[in-house]
Amino acid sequence: MLSTLLTLIRLLKAIVRSWNRPHFRSGFLLAGLILLSGTIFYKTVEGWSWVNALYFSAMTVATVGVSDLAPQSTAGKLFTVIYLFVGVGVFVALFTQFARALLQIEHDVDAAEARSGKSGKGHL
């Protein structure tokens, strides 16, 4: 539980640190729009609930895959193929920005500890 909380705190710090970067903001917005568009598509075309449509959209772009849901219509199947390729690319770019921010946080902590004479062991 503690490690999950610490990881969540690091993620939030990375988001805050990255927010001033235009590429991050646009990627974050685009990722949100991709999830929203997938959710709306699956809700209207496949007739799924909002939660199931969002769940399937997120699992698709995360390349997890779910066996309990699958598009039944031809349009749904074709959309999913395109959605997968576009969504994965956008989310990879977004997570690259997260990684950069996390690495910058690590670098800043290491530099601060070096200036103060502390060792770099045991930090987030």
List of residues 6+ apart from 23 with CB closer than 8 A: 97
The strand ranges marked E within the chain are: none
pLDDT digits (tens, 9 = 90+) for 20-57: 878 788 888 999 999 999 999 999 999 999 999 999 99
Rounded-to-integer distance, Cα 109 and Cα 91, Å: 27
- The pTM assigned to this predicted structure is 0.71
- DSSP assignment string, 74-87: HHHHHHHHHHHHHH
Averaged pLDDT for residues 94-104? 78
Whether the predicted pLDDT of 92 surpasses 70:
yes
